Each structure stands twice: as structure tokens, then as C-alpha cells.
Structure 1
Amino acid sequence: MGLYLGDGHLVVGRVPVLRVFCADVWPDLIAACEGAMRAVMATSVQRVQKRGCVAVQSYGTHWPCLFPQHGPGKKHERPIVLADWQRTIVEAHPGDFLRGLFHSDGCRTSNRVTVRGKKYVYPRYMFVNESTDIMGLCQWALDLLGIAWRMNRRTSLSVARREAVAALDRHVGPKS
């Protein structure tokens, strides 16, 4: 779900197709995306090589049932609301949901600051998304896990406290 909200889309035609785009430099993420599609519904998943990325895709009549958030236009220009049954799943597995969100629209980086002439370096997670609805879902999932976060811009969320970063490390893990 998190990967779909970040890097995926659903094309509803004669036979709907779910596509999630993953950068070539993250082969484990590509495999995890394919595995998730197979685990949920897909009997067949294709990898279509594009310039610098792979479209992991699967055709299936019921993809629109599983992703009722699909619709015309950009995700940040339309409402993104979880169905009640999706909320129940995210409440039970917020770390998995966050893994998808952060692996698509987030990163773990080293923040470098200088305070009174002394330099500090510490790890932090950043999540950036233009959709206020998707940002709200990320905040909600972080709250479910008790992970402290702050908005550093309208479209950018930061997780920087040592214990919060450690907790997110346990759920998100490295993107490889």
C-alpha cells in the first residue's frame, strides 16, 4: 500500500493493471514489491525495464477493489482516503505501511549541523509528499508506533530524535 501511494498507479481498462516504479539501484525493493503483489493477489507479475527504473506490474480484475484510492489525475490533486478495511490493516501493521512510504518517498540521511562552532552529525529520516492526505497517513502511522516526528516544511516530515530513528530503523530497514 505504501509503495503504491508513493510510486504506483492503477490503470483501469479492459483488464486493470497495477504498476509500481522502482529505481534500478534498489534490486531488493523491486523483489519485495513483486513479492507483495504475488502475496496479495497476483498470479503473474512482470518487470518492465525502463530508463533507470523497473515497472513492476500485474494485471488483475480485482486491483481496483484493493486500491479504491485510484482515480484520474495526480494523487496530490485528489482525495486519498483509506477504506475502513484498509485502515484496520494499517492499524495492525503500521511498520509495513511506513516501510512502503519511506522506501518510495523518503530517505534516511545524515544531518549535519553546527552549534556554537561545534559540528554534529546524526541520522534522520525524511519523508516528502505533495499530498496532504498521504502526509496525514504517514503521520498517523508514525503516531500508531509512538514515533516522534516534526514537519520541517509543508510537504516534508522529519524523524530525528535518536529513539525515534532507532524505532523507525526497526520497521523500515535499509533500502537496498
Structure 2
Amino acid sequence: MNFHGPELRQRALTLLRGGAKNADVARQLNVPAGTVSYWKHMDSAKRGECPGAHRSFCPRCEGELDRSAYAYLLGLYLGDGHIVQNKTMHTPSLSVACADSWPGLMDLCESAMRAVFPENSVCRVRRKGCHQVKMYSKHLWCLFPQHGPGRKHERPIVLANWQQEIVDAHPWEFIRGLIHSDGCRITNWTTRLVGGERKRYEYPRYFFANKSDDIRKLLSDTLNKVGVEWTTLARGSDPFNISVARRASVALMDAHVGPKY
């Protein structure tokens, strides 16, 4: 069993009081993150900053964020998620709307929330034709800096550097989250004359529809990085749809994303 002496503990507290993150201190001093978190909590309590109160845990600032689950949850949030500061509560809530037609999507969303926020409870709120998978955390602003007043397509949506690093490391999870929120896998069909006889041919394709130019660009940039070819389809004069129809690209999407269920 490793023993961490008072000198090492004091070095950690000096860094923490200077504003360093728990995870960074743990890596720098080669101390378990849980030990650093405990030292910080006891130091805060000793100085009367949190006497007897439970201080919520930030998975990004004070621990090892589940980056894969976060990439998926970020995609869901950018599509069908929203954050609300309830007037009667001090803690904001994150809700992701999931249609009742896709119970598997609700399970995946709930699992991602629990993985990213292991100390928080998750619930499902029934709405007409859907459920909101919902949780509360004081650290939602830290994890989702894209939140702001108004609708997402009416304000800039830009990933922070640390978010982009996660998306670059887990591109398929991010793509899956976006497709599972504002996308779908469908089967198109057409007919052709073959030997004088008209035959029907079916082929699958993926669609993603979102009014935000920034969010569509986040998806298309990530698709480019994983080798998926895509095109833009306009509805009238609005280019709100991204389509993936080439056979090789659809096969890649099937292997890593798949249809909602």
C-alpha cells in the first residue's frame, strides 16, 4: 500500500489552492485522483469553506471524464438536448428528448449520462410521443459550454479545444450521438428497365437534418475525418440535410453507427 507523506500532500494542496485541477495534480504528483479529491475536500472543510456540506463532483475538472461516453452524449445534446435553469431549483438540468419509437436510444442515452456523471441520478419524464431522459448537475455549464440563450441555430456553436480533442479521439461516438438525435437510416428505392422489364431496387442511406450551420459542419467535418462521403440536400432553398448514400460510406456508417432502435 502506498503512503503519501505530509510533504507530498502539502505540495498537492498548494497546487489545488492555486487553481490547478484535481486530475492535473494527480498526474503531476503520481497520486490517485481519489486521494487528491479527498485531500482537497478535507482542506476545504478545515478552512470552513464547506462545513458539513456535500460538494458535488465535477467529472471534467476533478476526475477522469469518460471521454467515449461524453462524445456520444455531446452529439445527443447538440441534436435533441437542452439545459434549463429551473427557477425553483439552484441546479440546472440536462434533458434529451427520445421518441417512444426508439426505446434502445433511451437506454443508450441514460447509460451515457450515468457514465459521464457517475454521482448523479438519471430519470425519464414522459411527454407526448416521447420521453425526456433527464439529470441534474451543477457542472453542466462546465461540460456543455455551448449552452446559451435562444435556440442553437440562432447562436454560434463552437467546440472548446478540450471538446474537439475528445471528438478527434472518439469521432464515431460523436457521429453516433448526432445521428441518433437528428438523423436516421432509411431505405430508398428506385426502378430501372432491365431487359424490357421494370425492376425495383432498394438501397439504404443516412440522413441528418439540423438548422444550425455550425452543428451540420461539426458533423460533416467529423465524417470527413473518418472517410465517409456525404452530400448536402436542400429542402427548397434551405440546405438543412446531410446525406450519406454511397455504398462504401453507408457500410462504414452501418459498422459504427447503425439504425436507431
Q: Shorter-chain TM-score: what band?
A: over 0.9
Amino-acid identity (%): 56
Q: In the aligned structure 2, how far is the partner of 1:28 from the partner of 1:111?
A: 24
Q: Distance in 1 between matches of 2:242 and 2:192?
A: 22
Q: Which residue of 1 aligns with 2:224?
A: 143
Q: Tell me the amino acid that sits aligned with residue 104 of structure 1.
A: S
User: Could you give the per-residue CA deviations for residues 126-173 of structure 1, whole angstroms, max 9, x where no partner exists?
Assistant: 111100000000101101111010112211111001110000111112
Higher mean displacement: 117-126 or 131-140: 117-126
Normalised by the size of structure 2, how large is the TM-score?
0.65
* 1:17-28 superposed matches below 5 A: 17-28=93-104
Do the aligned partners of 2:97 and 2:133 also contact (CA within 8 Å) in 1?
A: yes
Q: Which runs of 5+ in 2 are unaligned?
A: 1-73
Structure-2 residue corresponding to 1:104: 181
Instruction: Give the aligned residue type for 2:254.
Output: D
Partner of 2:204: 123
In structure 2, distance between residues paired with 1:121 and 1:173:
17
Alignment check: 8 A CA contact 1:12 1:64 kept:
no
- Provide the rounded CA distance (Å) in 2 between the counterparts of 1:59 and 1:52: 23
The count of residues paired between Structure 1 and Structure 2 equals: 176
> Can you list the C-alpha shifts for 1:83-128, whole angstroms capped at 9, x where unaligned?
1000000001111111111111111111123456654321111111
Q: Of residues 142, 149, 166 in structure 1, which corresponds to 2:251?
A: 166
Two-structure CA RMSD over aligned residues (Å): 1.3
TM-score by length of 1: 0.95
Q: 2:77 aligned with 1:4, yes or no?
A: yes
Query: In structure 2, what residue type is equivalent to 1:11?
Result: V
| Higher RCO (CA-CA < 8 Å; seq separation 6+) | 1
Structure with higher Rg: it is 2
3-state SS in 1 of match to 2:190? strand
Greater fraction of residues in strand: 1
For 1:73, give the aligned amino acid. G
1:51-92: CA deviations, max 9, x gaps? 111111111000111000011111111111111000000001
Q: SS of 2:91's equivalent?
A: coil
Show the 5 A alignment for 1:23-62.
23-42=99-118, 43-62=120-139
SS at match of 2:157: coil
Q: Is the 8 A contact 2:185 2:258 kept in 1?
A: no
Amino acid at match of 1:12: Q
Give secondary structure in 1 for the equivalent of 2:168. Answer: helix
Runs of at least 4 residues off by over 6 Å: none
Q: 3-state SS of the aligned residue for 2:173?
A: helix
